[in-house]
Amino acid sequence: MIGITSYGAYIPRLRLDRMAIFQGMGWFAPAIMMVAQGERSMCNWDEDAITMAVEASRDCLRGRDKSQLEAFYLASTTLPFADRQNAGIVSAALNLRDDMITADHTSSQKAATTALITALESIQSGQRHNIMVTASDSRETRTAYFYEMWFGDGAAALSVGDDDVIAEYKGSYSLSMDFVDHYRGADQKYDYVWEERWTRDAGYGEIIPRVVNGLFDKLGISMDDVDRLVYPCFFKRDHRSIAAGLGATPEKLVDNMHEVCGETGAAHSFMMFISALEEAKPGDRILMCGFGQGANALYFEVTDHISRLAGRNGVAGSLANKKSTGNYLKWLKFRDLIKTEMGIRAEAPTQTATSVLWRKNKMIMGLVGGKCRECHTPQFPKADICVNPECGAFHSQEDFEFADVPAKVKTFTGDLLSVSVDPPAIYGMVQFEGGGRTVVDFTDCALDDVRVGLPVKMAFKRKGVDKERGFVNYFWKAVPVPGAAEEKDIIRFDDRVAVITGAGAGLGKAYALELAGRGARVVVNDLGGARDGSDQGSASPADKVVDEIKALGGEAVANYDNVATPEGGENIVKTALDTFGRLDIVINNAGILRDKSFLKMEPENWKAVMDVHLNGAYHVTRPAMAAMKENGYGRIIMTTSAAGLYGNFGQTNYSAAKMGLVGLMNTLKLEGQKYNVKVNTIAPIAASRLTEDVMPPELFEKSRPEFVVPMVTYLCGENCQESGAIFNSGMGYFNRVAVYTGPTVQLGDPDNPPTPEQIHENWNQINSMDGAGEMEDANTAIFALITPPAEASESAESDEQAGGDVQAVFDKMVDGFKADAAAGVDVIFQFNISGQGGGEWYCVIKDSTCTVEKGAHEKPACTIKMADGNFLAMMGGKLPAMQAFTSGKLLIEGDVMKSQLLEKLFVIG
Ligand code: NAD
């Protein structure tokens, strides 16, 4: 049996909203409104027919042995080279073998179906067994034109052969005639198009029925033998009426994809055919036509084998991976339809030495590096000496293809100075799984999308164009894997090991189930003792939780040690290391209560509570910290309580222990910093046996531990960069608790200590928390204490007189917001203002509204750091923003360009 053996497609991620074309040019060409529905696909500035063909071909080759290909045909009318075989470029990028035939099929919209028939007949003849035909087009049109709306960019690939056939080839019929509905002269960029009526009536309207009926006659079949009918025709109404005229019911007709991508030129018959294959079941019969200077019709029957095809993007996957834009000027720039000043940096020589290109052909075109024959270490580029310092073998490198190796972002930057069609130029280092790393450009993403650790895939793109000599340079770039950024936001603990003390019940059990459900391997520690810790304990609570985790498909091990002893702590950590080989997370949660008023608080009750809570955390965390230091990673949670933070009658022992844990965290966060160990503290409110007789019943009902779990889970995650913070959590309410220090008052002088009477006199000022702030560590606090007020108020960086109230500026910010200037703006500004009146505020601008809040936003686009005086001067119109920036008074982090919006969006002065 011969026929289609695989398929693949590529539609660029960018889609231009057709209304943006109309909004930009409707004043000039109002009639284009008639076809302004949906969106058209749009090449990125570094894509063309070749790059799209490479991607569609890679999709088609998924799960297939590319060394079996014996011929590769490329069909397109927008090939970048008139004399340098374009199929050869694609073949080099795919790293196909060189003892094969490659050919360009061009000069007609039906080139792809012609190439396909040629390929199928070559298989039928028995001369070849495996051929790939890829079609790709990115046609140019002038602006404000119907065809700008109708056309789309894209590529589609079909492989054909005599084994593993997914759609059997039943036959074809062709018409060749010099019918000219449009043409593009050899030296022209744009099509010349005859009247639409002519194209519709004499073109599609006559030629498609003729070729379909010709095929029916040749194969002795009728429309009853066709389940899906594929032919391109960008006139929506005529597309339907031709099918109706042929006797096809509407559900047989495959959509022409106008709304979702537009007509992709020579690739479009394949594109529609693949969309039909994606929905097809064995036995379905598909008739595909190509149109242009006549037409081709091919008839296929889908086989059982289609269900065994490896997963791929195809048309559906490509359509799903999209980034819509309404930026028509960007479209014009990307297509080179408007001339922008690129600066003198763009004048750097762009000539390509074809000799070097040939010598490094595999490396540049095929992203081929080396792999050491002796130690199997991959590296890019290939070198004479193995990079592995423990190997260092000479001339041991075998070819190794990196194009399909999963990779992650190791470092990156956004560069506004480099020449770029779409600034900032984003580039950085990618690390390949299994070894090898290289510096590459990032594309198909915004700077905000890129993060260290983000999975990327390599894609063949245009590196640059030498317009003077008509040469296009290609190389591989990194593209964020679709959905990976979103997935990265999903908190997972795969490969992480967690110790949770007191996890046999209450909060600890809830943490254990959640972390295990998100992939962690968990040591469920619980002594199984009484509420006051007075008995010997039992293995049952820990065992039950382990059973529950395992029943849900998770991994866990029980441990029954007592956290109150050093050996117990050691053993809990040992259980993690012995069972799972590492330790990443510790939640110090075990707890007991022995409440008594202070005068009745005997030493054993004091000590028992100290031993479990404070000493317990020390016993477990110390050996855990040693393991975390080894890994250079750790997340530690302490459990405090409102009793310790604020006081609670009858709980002096518990309060002291719980506040002791805060002290432990404060210093451990500093010591853990360089090992990437983050330490935070939770102050939970949850129904458990510890709270059943303390909480009012209605509160007890509502306080399910599950409402505390999300905060602890977040604090245990890789994304959490917070360290040294305390959070109250319960019933879905969260807030942060911190130790604040008031402003310094200096009394006396260096030689004469002040008198107690002076303290009394200045009491209100000393006792005031106006302008209080948090201190990073003890040294910062001591420095703040001994910094004389005059210097403090001057503020190191502020050379403008404050003369105003920073808070008042933020209070008025919303009034000064220019909503009409904010259409389409979606940005979050964070303001960190230092000095006496300073603090943190953030401003969210979305849907032409502006809100201002005090505090720090989690994901600001742009952070503005200024001293209070400078800030007031800038917002008062006395200090221009640009001058503040260039003089270093305004520091900007994140997206620097966004800061330019400030003057546009707010009335300043
Ligand atoms: P819980 O009694 O349900 O759970 C505590 C678990 O710790 C028990 O299963 C117990 O067997 C275990 N345990 C006690 N001593 C141990 C030891 N020496 N070694 C190993 N395991 C031991 O109580 P919970 O409410 O889930 O409390 C969990 C933590 O949260 C405690 O530290 C508690 O002080 C703290 N906390 C709870 C609340 C709340 O509202 N529930 C409020 C503030 C703080």
- According to DSSP, the β-strands at 14-17 and 39-41 are antiparallel
How confident is the model at residue 501, as a pLDDT?
98
Cα 742 off chain centre by? 42
As a whole-number percent, the residues of the chain with pLDDT over 90 amount to: 80
Distance set, CA 900 to CA 473, 738, 836, 892, 905 (Å) = 34, 34, 27, 11, 9
- Between the CA of 506 and the centroid of ligand 1 the distance, in Å, is 7
Residues 6 and 64: beta-carbon distance below 8 Å = yes
Q: Please give the Cα distance from 392 to 376 (Å, whole number).
A: 12
- Note the pLDDT of residue 793: 37
User: Are the CB atoms for 654 and 644 separated by under 8 Å?
Assistant: yes
CA of 51 to the centre of ligand 1 (A): 60
The helix, strand and coil proportions of the chain, stated in percent and rounded to the nearest 5, come to 35, 25, 40
Given ligand 1 and candidates 688, 691, 706, which is best to mutate, with the most ligand atoms within 8 Å of its CB? 688
Catalytic residue, chosen from 10, 147, 231, 654, is 654
The response to whether residue 590 sits with its C-beta less than 6 Å from ligand 1 reads: yes
Q: What is the pLDDT of residues 429-448, one digit of tens each?
A: 999 998 999 999 999 999 98
Looking from the CA of residue 537, the nearest atom of ligand 1 is 11
Residue 527 CB less than 6 A away from ligand 1: yes
pLDDT level of residue 787 (50, 70, 90 thresholds)? low
> Tens of pLDDT along 699-745?
898 899 999 999 999 999 998 999 999 999 999 999 999 999 998 89
520 lines ligand 1 (CB under 6 A): no
**pLDDT confidence tier of residue 908, bands split at 50, 70 and 90:** confident
- What is the C-alpha separation between 262 and 544, in angstroms, rounded? 59
> Of the given ranges (147-161, 276-290, 538-552, 760-774), which has the lowest mean pLDDT?
760-774
Confidence at residue 886, expressed as pLDDT on a 0 to 100 scale: 64
Residue 690, ligand 1, Cβ within 6 A: yes
Question: Which residue blocks in 673-724 are alpha helix, DSSP H?
Answer: 697-702, 709-716
Query: Got the DSSP string for 154-192?
Result: EEEEEEEESSS-SEEEEEEEEEE----SEE--TT-SS-E
From CA 437, how far away is CA 230, in angstroms rounded?
Answer: 44
The ligand 1 atom nearest the CA atom of 588: 32
Closest Cα to atom 44 of ligand 1:
641
Half-sphere exposure (CA, 13 Å, Cβ side) for 235? 15
Reported confidence tier of residue 873, pLDDT bands at 50, 70, 90: confident
User: Is the pLDDT higher at 125 or at 838?
Assistant: 125
State pLDDT tens for residues 143-201.
999 999 999 999 999 999 999 999 999 999 999 999 999 999 998 999 999 999 999 99
Distance between CA atoms of residues 153 and 148, nearest Å: 11
Residue 792 pLDDT: 37
pLDDT digits (tens, 9 = 90+) for 472-513: 999 999 999 988 878 778 899 999 999 999 999 999 999 999
Q: Is 508 in the pocket of ligand 1 (CB under 6 A)?
A: yes
In the predicted structure, residue 370 carries a pLDDT above the cut 50: yes
Q: Which residue's C-alpha comes closest to atom 19 of ligand 1?
A: 562
Place 803 in a pLDDT band, splitting at 50, 70 and 90: low
The percent of residues in the chain predicted with pLDDT above 70, rounded, is 97
Q: What is the pLDDT of the chain when averaged over all its residues?
A: 93
d(CA 45, CA 443): 10
Backbone torsions φ then ψ of 12, nearest 5 degrees: -55, 150
Q: Of 206, 202, 214, whose CA–CA distance to 298 is shortest?
A: 214
Beta bridge partners of 428: 412, 440
Q: Note the pLDDT tens digit of each residue in 651-687.
A: 999 999 999 999 999 999 999 998 999 999 999 999 9
Place of tokens 């043409």: 183
Q: Annotated catalytic, 714?
A: no
Q: How far apart are CA 671 and CA 131, in angstroms?
A: 62
- DSSP assignment, residue 385? B
- Using CA positions, which residue lies closest to atom 29 of ligand 1? 589
Question: What's the pLDDT at 541?
Answer: 97
**Averaged pLDDT for residues 598-602:** 97
Query: Does the C-beta of 591 come closer than 6 Å to ligand 1?
Result: yes
The number of the ligand 1 atom at minimal distance from the alpha carbon of 685 is 40
Most ligand 1 atoms within 8 A of CB, residue of 511, 525, 527, 594 to mutate: 527
